[in-house]
Structure 1
Amino acid sequence: MGTIFGGDTLYELRTSLQLAELERNGGMSPRVSPLVHLNDVGSLLNRAGFSMLTIDTEDIVVGGYPDLVAMCTDLQHMGEQNSLIARANSLPRDVLLAANEICKSLHGERGLDGEVTIPATFNVIFMIGWKKSETQPQPLARGSGQVNLKDVLQ
């Protein structure tokens, strides 16, 4: 039925900006849009009238960014920008430079050439559900299976 980015998406960027703003400004403003968490997706689908829900998640790591500016440029090209109305309009240069160094020290990966690159993790949530109707497949009664799952998984 659909996919969305989950709550742990871009945690490298989020944590680095938070720490840099706390260090430089003594407080922080939301720089990355809030995202839905995995355990909330099932509740939302259920409240929308779907049943027999299947929800899965996968982390996709895009690596090799030389700095946060390159990562943010790619995010802008994807159309992914902070959509919050109550947000700071600009990111001060000193906060960006501090966030870049924090991100490299906390999340950076040293390559064979010795250069430290920054990964970007996208937590993708996959979801499917059935709208209630007479033709909807019904789950089998508990304990009606012919094969024990423990035997299959061994």
Structure 2
Amino acid sequence: MVWEDTDEIQVNYPGMFELMEDLKGMGESNCSWNRKALLHRDTMLAAAAVYREMYRNEDGSIPATYQIYHMIGWKYHDSQARPAERGSATVSFGELAKLNDVVSQGKKE
């Protein structure tokens, strides 16, 4: 069994401006520290044309691929059992790989 904590999805947009609107909604609109304060309309239109030419699908849409990371946050609460102290394990995670062999041998018997 493989546990994955990321998903990759592809979303098709009618154009670059719709893609940029979604990116802005995700908080990804100001990633560069050394960017210019003003982006001219002509620059945006030229970028949209180049992006469409380079990446468009057969139906005219443009794809964007997103990686979604799944994480779990946990904070101790008095109603829960205390976690074991760090370094108190009696079995190495490396030994877990042998668990599949033990289980499969038990099924054969």
Q: TM-score, normalised by structure 1?
A: 0.44
CA-based RMSD of the aligned residues comes to 3.5
2:9–2:67 Cα contact (<8 Å) kept: yes
Pair 67,87 (structure 1): closer, same or farther in 2 beyond 3 Å: same
Larger radius of gyration: 2
Secondary structure of the 2:61 match is: strand
C-alpha change, 1:132 and 1:105, in structure 2 (3 Å) is: farther
The structure in which a higher percent of residues are strand is 1
The separation in 1 between residues aligned to 2:91 and 2:8, in whole angstroms, is 30
Give distance in 1, aligned partners of 2:29 and 2:19: 12
Please, what TM-score do these two structures have when normalized by structure 2?
Answer: 0.57
Q: CA deviation at 1:80?
A: 2.2
Residue 59 of structure 1 corresponds to: 8
Mark the CA change 1:56 to 1:136 in structure 2 (over 3 Å): closer, same or farther: farther
Inter-partner Cα distance in structure 1 for 2:96 and 2:57: 48
Whether the 8 Å CA contact 1:55–1:127 is kept in 2: the answer is no
Q: How many residues are aligned here?
A: 89
Identity of counterpart residues, as a percentage?
Answer: 30
Q: Describe the superposition over 1:49-83 as per-residue Cα deviations: whole angstroms up to 9, x where unpaired.
A: xxxxx8754321111x2221111112222222223
- Pairwise CA distance, 1:127: 6.7
- Structure 1 residue runs of 5 or longer lacking an equivalent are 1-53, 148-154
String of CA shifts for 1:82-139, please: whole Å, max 9, x gaps: 233321122222221121111112111132xxxx1111111334578xx943148622
The equivalent residue for 1:104 is: 52
2:16/2:52 contact within 8 Å kept: no
